[in-house]
Structure 1
């Protein structure tokens, strides 16, 4: 480090340098080709630019061929050109300073080196800085928490100086506290970094041989739940647009940063990706809305209809939600009885012919007679009521005519039962009727006529019995 810059850098350790000037890359950074940097605005020369490697090396077997490069402008010139001895696809951060302090011209974002020429570095040899420095805890920095930066005092020239570099943000000089020697940790000092949690910080070390002669280490600030050291002047990763003008930020050169002098950072790759993502998102949203609207319309236009298990089509109904015609209810009409029964005194079956002295009813009465088995006392067959008081009806719809069974009807007279008829081939059922008492008269008959009347009555009763029996057999 130049002796004339040391007092100035120590005087403004954390000043948020609102630079009145900036810089830009006048050509694209390429492997082993000259890179030209120009100053814009009014600074205080002489100017210098520090090129700090960032990220892992792209060379095979982890060969690190990059060195921290400190380039000074000649006199009051506002531009400088130098050979970039970085391999392609590697990255770096550029910091420009003038006589007012370190990083006064701004800090670029991470720059990517594109393909170019060969032969400016040895791809098989790893370079080492003149001295190394360490931190305790190792590789760890915590916001507002004390850490120790130390080195081997036998490897340095003079007193080392350290700088903090935030890519795309602010760079500053780290103030040194009282130096101390600790066995196993060499010579060093304690520092509580006033950098916000999550910030990427490059810690750069140098001695009297120049900036960066001690190499650099990369840290991501950790949270220690202590923010007492932070204020409005604390270094930030987002003070504004990164300096550097236009340069590639990706290995294919698609990303371009445009910054410095109030410019803005434009990442073409991010813009293209954002546009494509927005278009895809809009299409997806439109499809979701279309699906929802279509589903709502179908839901509103669909009416509940009964399930048709007999037909496999849905267009047989009247169209207003009612079931088809064959689903309409039909009233049940009682069919006419197949056998018209006739009831008269003594409950004669409807098929018996008219007999003198027997009362009859019209066939439209539709009441069916019931036949019973023999009585328990007399042993004679006769009529008995059904088990239920309600008359039974026939539900047969067949047009077949009724069949009749042979029936014997016996009319009793005053003299007692008559002789039974000869049994037919199919033994008929016998129905006995009570006496008709047709010989009873209100006026007593004369004695001279009693015999004649008795014979007449007996003959009439016998004739009636014979007529009824004949009709039943027929």
Structure 2
């Protein structure tokens, strides 16, 4: 809000300067060198006021030979010391036009080598004001000017803009000024009395902020005036002065306010950029997730894939028990080669999801050569059910081969040798 008011005041002052047709240019102030000023517009006569900071202003009347009509230029030796601060004010018959007040300038080192008396002259009278800086829309008191010829006039110079005048009543020995300028504005006070005597200039004062904006007005017209509360009483006592000191407020410079505003703008910009990038990243991530298909690499549960702990395995016999044959012992021939075909066991991987896995072995019995004619060949189908989890892996399977017998082997006691078809021979 403060910056809006300052910008509005600045642009209004520029517009008013062009509208009034008065413009002025000041040269660079150098100690004891000629100070140049040129202008166009306004009404003669013209005057130049040089105002040193906390010093006595110098009022100079510009001779008619320095201008033609409403334009002209003028130069005068600058009697201010190096590194001191000053302001220049150009005014005409109508007063101080808008834009006729210079900025606060610092006097530089002389380049011409000229010398002059830079000692400040004593003012014609003195006056006082509070030690506190003025606060926006508050009252500011001026007092203790007994040597001035009443009534007095207070000129409030605003650098780069214009001036405002405060005129108390003719009998007022102190008065207050309502600070109707925006916070952050520099001002300089100059007081004169009824006879034109100088009371001196103040240092540049910075107006402090407040929550009250109702009294703020623009500065620029030579007829600007402010509300004044005056009293025909003696100057305030030291106790009153102490009260002003007790009401001091913290001063905030324009640079500090500008830095805070710039920092806030930068932080807001960075936050917006970060939020934008995060939003784009989240949006891209959602798009990728929407296009991804969910693939389950495990087609079957762990239990159906044969993964078990060693404690869950059990040893099984590689030999399969066969059913007992109905043949009698006389029909059994241990010397006959057994033509038993064992069907190979088959195993699927992954195992089929049948309720019960089974492994079947089919055994067929054949009659031995030369056996009884009433022995009918018979086949026995033996089905052994096994849990597929207990079946040994392929590398642990055992292949069982039929037994082989030699011809010179002695008969087993208790068993009758087979009947030979050959004729009996001699025996030793």
Q: TM-score, normalised by structure 1?
A: 0.44
Choose 1 or 2 for highest CA Rg. Answer: 1
